[in-house]
Amino acid sequence: GRRLHETFQEYRARITARVGSLAEAFDQLTSLAVRAAYSDVALSPEQARQAVVASRQVSSQLRRSAGGPRRLFGMFRIERLSR
């Protein structure tokens, strides 16, 4: 996940450096997330739909790139309090 100190763009850069196939979907998701978080104007229903589609693509590609054992251990991950 995104580290506490990371901006949306830093998180996108870190993840897409590891999984290059995420670039397009993650760029779109990052752009929409920044707009939703910082704009005075709410996302349109179409933009919200685009964010859902992009997030599903990103999630699916991340799972595939992780491999079986890592994916399995990720299901039981315990978050560290010191993050």
**pLDDT string in tens for the chain (83-residue length):** 788 899 999 998 998 888 888 889 989 999 999 999 999 999 999 999 999 999 999 988 888 887 666 555 655 655 554 44
User: What's residue 36's pLDDT?
Assistant: 94
User: What's residue 32's pLDDT?
Assistant: 96
CA pair distance 16, 20, nearest whole angstrom:
5
pTM: 0.70
User: What's residue 65's pLDDT?
Assistant: 83
Phi-psi region of 42 (alpha: psi -120 to 50; beta: other; left: phi over 0): beta
Place of tokens 């999630």: 59
CA pair distance 61, 20, nearest whole angstrom:
10
User: What's residue 19's pLDDT?
Assistant: 85
58 Cβ partners below 8 Å, 6+ apart? 22, 25, 26, 29
